[in-house]
Amino acid sequence: MELVTPDVEKMGESDGIRRNSTLICAPIMADTVDQMLIHMNSAKSSGADCVEIRLDSLKVVNAREDIQTLVKLSQLPTIFTYRPTWEGGQYDGDEQSRLAALRLAMELGADHIDVELKAVDDFNNLIRGDMPTKCKLIVSSHNYQNTPSVEDLGNLVARIQATGADIVKFATTAVDITDVARVFQITAHSQVPIIAMVMGEKGLMSRVLCPKFGGYLTFGTVEDGKVSAPGQPTIRDLLDLFNFRQLGPDTKVFGIIGKPVGHSKSPLLYNKAFRSVGFNGVYVHMLVDNVKNFLETYSSTDFAGFSCTIPHKESIVQCCDEVDPIAKSIGAVNCVIRRQNDGKLYGCNTDYVGAISAIEDSLRGSGVQNGASGSPLAGRLFVVIGAGGAGKALAYGAKEKGARIVIANRTYDRARELAEIIGGEALTLADLNTYKPENDMILANTTSIGMQPNIDDTPISKEALKSYALVFDAVYTPKITRLLREAGECGALVVTGVEMFIGQAYEQYERFTGLPAPKELFRDIMANY
């Protein structure tokens, strides 16, 4: 079965034309051949273009019989890999048997075989140039420590090419998300078919944006967690979450900058919305340590906009060329747009609009304000937990609506600083448990306390919650945190982080695309969440 480059114009996908020829390859790892065949069928039905059969994962290998069965019964084109332990695989036997098995795979009809750069000379001596025309030789190199310089990567590619490889493959490790940029540079300028991946969570972009930079293939797993290298997404995520088939060289890249960031549902929201209107963009998770380095590295107008979450909302303000006056007074930015005409960065804050609107709507809906004009927050005591970017945004927003502000934070000094700027009172987090100056107060948690995986944590005792009329939690994974569950049990109105999330996303989407936000679609997506 020959591995044919897809006709990108004719290949209809479930939601439009396939815009790139980058393949999705499913790594097949199992104890037995029978299990492999089941996984191979799943890979086909999930939408993979080819399978990588990892012979080193088999508990027992009967080379001729097993390879013949796998070649014959595979419904997809094959890559045979027999990875030794010294290159991150599971095979620890002698080299001669290993290379002989790869030669056998080549002779029995494999579409590709993958041979390590360190072993390719021995392999070439073994086959003495007798390579079937049907079988393509992938020569690979894996670096589990870091990602070398562009110069070193260029030299590596040249060394792999010199071995007679039909396809160059290298995988490096992301120490920082900026490492991925060097791999994009190499991929985009490669004159030969190239598979280039950056392993680990910080390397996710390298796997998703393959089609934009002209990569030959990317790896997608059949099941979540069953990976052959760190950081692999599932085939489903590539196709349904990241719209992989629709990406091309001119696709604009957006993303959520944060640490941690893998929990974020933003890619689900924006990518579905992009697809629904045919907008040529993709939105990815970006695990960022240093936001300044990140923005300087990804400085092209192709990297067109970013949402910003914990812990970068304050530090990113200094990285913007222009900051919206409200965001400047809050001292926090959660949305950055790269202007397409000059590449300059514009920062704004959509957090407080989403949260304050959701809180006001809930109070109005409960009949707290019976048709009177103005905000139902006016004159109320509004307690904000957290003095970071989101805390500042909510305190500012509530103050604008006429609320009296109290800031509670783990470190009292930060609470005091913000309280002085906003004009309010400061407390430590511990003080909250005994703070009951009046009833029917509003409480807003803007910290990550209670976020997955620490779902049993809460910033305040249940007893203390009895003094609050409404409790809001910016955490939305899980949707109902322990804080909200206990607040509800105490009779308070609860407003989830999902409400804030949707509200702030409307404005960001419009700034990213210049199109009206698909509000109903956003609500439908998050209702199923």
pLDDT attached to residue 229: 84
Distance CA 449, CA 129 (A): 62
Distance CA 490, CA 146 (A): 51
User: Averaged over 206-232, what is the pLDDT?
Assistant: 93
Question: Catalytic residue among 49, 56, 179, 351, which?
Answer: 351
pLDDT attached to residue 373: 67
**169 in catalytic set:** yes
Average pLDDT of the chain to the nearest whole number: 94
Question: Catalytic residue among 142, 202, 285, 401, which?
Answer: 142
Question: Catalytic residue among 39, 136, 313, 399, which?
Answer: 313
* pTM across the whole model: 0.87
Q: Which CATH architecture has domain 368-495?
A: 3-Layer(aba) Sandwich (3.40)
Question: Catalytic residue among 39, 112, 169, 312, which?
Answer: 169
Residue pLDDT, tens place only, 130-148: 877 889 999 999 999 999 9
Q: Where residue 307 falls among pLDDT bands split at 50, 70, 90?
A: very high
**351 in catalytic set:** yes
For 270-348+504-527, CATH gives: 3.40.50.10860
Q: Which residues pair with 308 in a beta bridge?
A: 257
Cis status, amide bond into 77, omega within 30 of 0: no
Question: Same topology for domains 23-248 and 368-495, yes or no?
Answer: no
Residue pLDDT, tens place only, 154-206: 999 999 999 999 999 999 999 999 999 999 999 999 999 999 999 999 999 99
pLDDT attached to residue 372: 56
**252 in catalytic set:** no
CA 329 to each of CA 41, 314, 389, 397: distance values in angstroms, whole numbers, following the listed order: 57, 11, 11, 11
For the domain made up of 23-248, give the CATH fold.
TIM Barrel (3.20.20)
Domain ranges in the chain are 23-248, 270-348+504-527, 368-495
For 148, how many CA atoms within 13 A lie in the half-sphere containing its CB? 15
